[in-house]
Amino acid sequence: MTRSKEASEIRPIVVTGSAKLLASGRSEPLDRAIPAEVPVSLTYNGLSHVVMMASPAHLRDFVIGFSLTEGILSSVDQLLTLRIENTDKGILLNAEIPEEIYKDLVARRRNIVGQTGCGLCGLIELEQVARPLPPIVEAPRISQTAATHAVAALADWQPLNAETGAVHAAAFADESGAVQLAREDVGRHNALDKLIGAMAEAQLDPATGFVVLSSRCSYELVQKAIAARIPALVTISAPTELAVDMAKEGALTLIALARPDSMLCLHDPFDVMA
């Protein structure tokens, strides 16, 4: 077993021998890049906790972000060590955390089995879906102009999606709309976890900006944003009803269907978008 490659080494898989089918009935040979999607198993102190389907890049960011948004860890410093191993069945992420935190995790343990686009599968207790989180208390630093700038810049931070057309992105922008950091993954919730982990490592204060997502706004994205104390979320596609309800409960500024010429303000608790 070897340590997983750094993000700069991860490349899309190029499929040779595929064909482009034309309306005329003819076909043309085509090499097409497709993104890798592999099982990623996360364990804490040897105890298996979750298996997710994810892009095999920025896995340390993923572990940190997932651990923070799930309330397992409260700071990066609590991740003592991380061992990343490749196997013929997937990637093993072996996290070592303080014993007292591990004991608390065991006491409230839940089983989660994630699929691309789904973070719900395998929950033992339904009430854990909408776990209580303290609401946002300070107005976010965002404006319509800043949101428009960030949305327009997002494509420049999606190199993997540019090659494959099949990968989500999450980006953190400052109050002017300038993107500071971004992460990609086949799963939208994984992309956000990776971004949150990278922000924590870089000591970027979430209150100084907002997050832009290349996906629809589902409930788990709102929940992760509030857990990470991200005060505003801008998404390219529409939200679900539960996502909007959670945003209202958590005082999260929620913007959806963001386009260069318009966007939909779903919740603006601090009247910053007026």
- Give per-residue pLDDT as tens, 214-244: 998 999 999 999 999 999 999 999 999 999 9
Query: What is the rounded average pLDDT for all residues in the chain?
Result: 88
Mean pLDDT of 259-268: 95
Q: Where are the domains of the chain?
A: 38-128, 144-267
pLDDT, tens digit, 9 for 90 and up, residues 147-206: 999 999 999 999 999 999 999 999 999 999 999 999 999 999 999 999 999 999 999 999
Selection from 82, 78, 81, 76 nearest residue 98 by Cα: 78
Rounded to whole angstroms, how far apart are CA atoms 167 and 48?
27
The pairing of strands 27-34 and 13-21 is antiparallel
Residues in a beta bridge with 233: 211, 254
- Fold of the domain built from segment(s) 38-128: Ubiquitin-like (UB roll) (3.10.20)
Indicate if the pLDDT at residue 124 is higher than 80: no
Where does the pLDDT of residue 127 fall: very low under 50, low under 70, confident under 90, or very high at 90 and above?
A: low
**Which residue reads 């327009």 in tokens?**
152
Indicate if the pLDDT at residue 116 is higher than 90: no
Question: Counting Cβ atoms within 10 Å, is residue 36 exposed (0-12), middle (13-18) or buried (19+)?
Answer: middle
Indicate if the pLDDT at residue 120 is higher than 50: no
Mean pLDDT of 16-27: 86
In degrees, rounded to 5, the angle at the alpha carbon of residue 205 between the alpha carbons of residues 219 and 136 is 45
Where does the pLDDT of residue 59 fall: very low under 50, low under 70, confident under 90, or very high at 90 and above?
A: very high
Q: Could you write out the three-class secondary structure of the chain? A: CCCCCCHHHCCCEEEEEEEEECCCCCEEEEEEEECCCEEEEEEECCEEEEEEEECCCCHHHHHHHHHHHCCCCCCHHHCCEEEEEECCCCEEEEEECCHHHHHHHHHCCCCEECECCECCCCCCCHHHCCCCCCCCCCCCCCCHHHHHHHHHHHHHHCHHHHHHCCCEEEEEEECCCCEEEEEEECCHHHHHHHHHHHHHHHCCCHHHEEEEECCCECHHHHHHHHHCCCCEEEECCCECHHHHHHHHHCCCEEEECCCCCCCEEEECCCCCCC
Helices and strands (H and E) in the chain: how many:
7, 13
- Fold of the domain built from segment(s) 144-267: Cytidine Deaminase; domain 2 (3.40.140)
Q: Which residues are catalytic?
A: 118
Indicate if the pLDDT at residue 65 is higher than 70: yes
Selection from 133, 114, 121 nearest residue 54 by Cα: 114
